[in-house]
Amino acid sequence: MADSLDSLDNRSADRRLQVETHGLDVIGDAERKGTPRTLFWPWFGANVSILGLSYGAFALGFGISFWQALAAGVIGIVFSFLLCGFIAVAGKRGSAPTMVLSRAAYGVRGNRLPSVISWVLTVGWETVLTALATMATATVFGRLGWGGGTETKVVALIVVGALIVVGGVMGFDLIMRLQTVITVVTAVLTVVYIALVADHIHWHTVSAVPAGSAQEFIGALVFMMTGFGLGWVNAAADYSRYLPRASSSRGVIGWTTFGASVAPLLLLVFGLLLAGSSGDLSKAIAVDPVGALTTILPTWFLVPFAVVAVLGLVGGAVLDIYSSGLALLSAGLRVPRYLAALVDGVLMIAGSVYIVFFTDNFLGQFIGFLTTLGVPVAAWCGIMLADLALRRRDYDEGDLFRPHGRYGDVPLRPLLLTLVATVLGWGLVTNSAASWLDWQGYLLDPFGLGGKTGAWAYANLGVLVALALGFLGTLALDRGRVRVQERQDTSPTASEEVVSA
């Protein structure tokens, strides 16, 4: 924490808190500060949400035992955040946001396709987190007898939405300061919550939960991957781009992975114990994932719980709205970064209104959202990781903004690879709880996997297939292209203005 606070103090000495003016442009060496250890705080703060407890119920919902769910969670969380750590290395090697660095693989304007996908994913996540914070606040107020109805939800939505939008609009400096505060407060109150409800754990009940099949285990594993690290890979370099170029790559990978994983792992274990001890609690979590956790709390801790719930969810949503604004700019919108964040904030509020006031099947829609977007994001992640692994030199920052530079304009190979991986992936996933996605799973029967009602129907293999196909396809097909690019001389530094509309 000392490193983080020192870094914040140094920035404070350099300038007062103000709206960040950086958009897609390259961060100059004079503004690159800190050490890899400072990455711990934004990643920990974004993932220390009390929502992590609810993932215990989500995992057991796949029909598996405590030990199977624990293994699926540990593997899924650590592996998916390790992917974030690898992509974060691109930030310090290229000084630009994640979806600008992606242009090296997809071309300057060809990259608009994954940028749009990234934008939808991050807007979706910030919407979900805002809605959960709103519902949790209303649940707490209802238990206290202070309301909890429509009026409470409206006020809570306005307050939570304002906090998130302000953080996203102000940008990097405020986010880093905010995340440090959120980390400390949320961590302390979460520990208190765990101590207060520990007596609701009944190991004999948890250990009696029957084991599930290998297919159900894989389904839980994939869900954990999409619910954690694969939901962040498209933003992984947005914060490491502020580190000095000489920063340790191993440090960037390690601190990103550790900071993002440690809280979800601890919360998952306790969430599994709670959900496995009570079927009623597990069912309630499916309807109101955060608010349901108040039902086992003493009344005097409800207000502190509301604070920990809201702050934890806001911490994640602030990072999402910041990165979604950058993704929107990378997709081609020609406005300042803070206006892009404001646009996303408006969409976030609208989506939250729908979730809070009009839908009654949160978990089904949530899993459908994660799995459906998880397929193309996994394909992009595989391509991005392979492209990064093939490069021996840092990115040419000028050509990241030139359609006629070394990275090209609209290269067909990565776009076709993404399309093929997505089509195959969607054919191998199902989402029966979300009726608007019942067209998926069209390859389960032709591939001999039992169709949409067979044993493999909910394993969601499509996410893993898309990730592997993107990675292996790029390694096999793009080695020569990368070598040609890296033999060219370094070009003059450019800005985002070079890209034509």
Query: Could you read off the pLDDT of 258-275 as tens digits, one per residue?
Result: 999 999 999 999 999 999
* Predicted local confidence at residue 8, as pLDDT: 36
* pLDDT of residue 332 exceeding 90: no
* Predicted local confidence at residue 246, as pLDDT: 86
DSSP per residue, 28-51: PGGG----GGGGHHHHHHHH--TH
Angle in degrees, 0-180, between the axes of helices 214-227 and 66-94, rounded to the nearest 10: 40
Q: What is the pLDDT of residues 283-325, one digit of tens each?
A: 888 777 888 888 888 888 888 888 888 888 887 888 888 888 8
* pLDDT of residue 253 exceeding 80: yes
Confidence of residue 87 (pLDDT cuts 50, 70, 90): very high
Q: How far apart are CA 103 and CA 101, in angstroms?
A: 5
Token pair 């070079």 is found at: 498
Smallest CA-to-CA distance from 221 within 113, 108, 330, 80 is with: 80
Mean pLDDT over each residue of the chain, to the nearest integer:
86
* pLDDT of residue 207 exceeding 80: yes
Confidence of residue 129 (pLDDT cuts 50, 70, 90): confident
Q: What is the pLDDT of residues 450-474, one digit of tens each?
A: 999 898 998 999 999 999 999 999 9
- Give the burial string for 70-82 (b: 16+ CB within 10 Å, else e): bebbbebbbbbbb
Burial of 284 (0-12, 13-18, 19+ CB in 10 A): buried
Task: Determine what percent of the chain falls in helix, strand and coil, rounding each to the nearest 5.
Answer: 75, 0, 25
* Token output for 414: 């990565």
* pLDDT above 70 as % of the chain: 91
* pLDDT of residue 3 exceeding 50: no
Q: How far apart are CA 60 and CA 125, in angstroms?
A: 22
End-to-end Cα, the chain, rounded Å? 43
* Predicted local confidence at residue 361, as pLDDT: 67
List of residues 6+ apart from 324 with CB closer than 8 A:
118, 119, 122, 123, 126, 168, 340, 341, 344
pTM to 2 decimals? 0.85
Confidence of residue 423 (pLDDT cuts 50, 70, 90): very high
* Predicted local confidence at residue 325, as pLDDT: 85
- Average pLDDT for residues 325-329, to the nearest whole number? 86
* pLDDT of residue 492 exceeding 80: no
* pLDDT of residue 161 exceeding 50: yes
* Token output for 184: 């400390």
Q: What is the pLDDT of residues 373-406, one digit of tens each?
A: 889 999 999 999 999 999 999 899 889 999 999 9
* pLDDT of residue 353 exceeding 50: yes
Higher pLDDT, 370 or 336: 336
* Token output for 104: 């090296």
* pLDDT of residue 435 exceeding 80: no
* pLDDT of residue 493 exceeding 80: no
* Predicted local confidence at residue 19, as pLDDT: 67
Q: What is the pLDDT of residues 17-39, one digit of tens each?
A: 676 666 676 777 777 888 999 89
* pLDDT of residue 7 exceeding 50: no
* pLDDT of residue 362 exceeding 80: no
Token pair 């994939």 is found at: 222
- Map 301-357 to HEC letters: HHHHHHHHHHHHHHHHHHHHHHHHHHHHHHCCCCCCHHHHHHHHHHHHHHHHHHHHH
* Predicted local confidence at residue 269, as pLDDT: 95
